[in-house]
A and B are shown apart, each in its own frame.
Chain A
Amino acid sequence: KQEVTQIPAALSVPEGENLVLNCSFTDSAIYNLQWFRQDPGKGLTSLLLIQSSQREQTSGRLNASLDKSSGRSTLYIAASQPGDSATYLCAGTNSGYALNFGKGTSLLVTP
């Protein structure tokens, strides 16, 4: 089974900083990796999906990379804003059906 780990568990940064969230996975035979955002009391919102044949995906201020050989993915957030405060979850699929989630990184961006 795919094991997904996210470091750090929590992060606090001042507004305007660029930041990187890390995700590592145990099985390099990964089909895709997704990054989600979860706001308190709400469901998950998909941010970026990287298929195994891709190395990165970009959406606005977000950039996600995937390195299968090292078992790592990073989510880069440029010019952080207070509205970016949320929990960020990564999830990988390698068994074909299920998403295997990490525990998430709780991000706080202070004005």
Chain B
Amino acid sequence: EAGVAQSPRYKIIEKRQSVAFWCNPISGHATLYWYQQILGQGPKLLIQFQNNGVVDDSQLPKDRFSAERLKGVDSTLKIQPAKLEDSAVYLCASSLRGGYPLLETQYFGPGTRLLVL
């Protein structure tokens, strides 16, 4: 079974530039998550999709971050404009059903490491 795919693996940009990350979840997984992991911290949930609808985006900085999941499969996360404090690893994860409450395992991709200069 193929895992969660993410690209690019690394990205270096200057502040105020824009950047986009792509995620392809495990085939058949209804729920997709984007996390931000700052160095030395645990991952923080940014947004959760169930199929192509948003379930939770309460911690997404909506003035600069946006995300979409077209056709309930792939997803993109965009930052525009980027700030220095956005330097982090952006992790995508998927789970089979998601749902409330969350009772199942999430499978994580390798992440995209972003450095904002």
List residues of chain A with CB under 8 Å of any chain B CB.
4, 31-32, 34, 36, 41-46, 49, 51, 89, 91, 93, 96-99, 101-104
In the complex, what's the smallest C-beta–C-beta distance from B12 to chain A, in angstroms? 15
Determine the chain A residues whose CB is within 8 A of the CB of B4 once the complex forms: 43
> Considering the chains assembled together, what is the distance between the CA atoms of A104 and B89 in angstroms?
15
Top 10 A-B pairs, shortest CB-CB distance: A101-B42, A43-B108, A31-B101, A96-B101, A44-B108, A96-B100, A98-B45, A46-B105, A43-B110, A93-B102
Tell me if B2 is interfacial: C-beta within 8 Å of chain A.
Answer: no
Determine the chain B residues whose CB is within 8 A of the CB of A103 once the complex forms: 40-42
In the complex, what's the smallest C-beta–C-beta distance from A32 to chain B, in angstroms? 6
Tell me if B91 is interfacial: C-beta within 8 Å of chain A.
Answer: yes
Residue of B42, B100, B101, B107 ringed by the most chain A CB atoms within 10 A: B42
> Considering the chains assembled together, what is the distance between the CA atoms of A99 and B109 in angstroms?
16
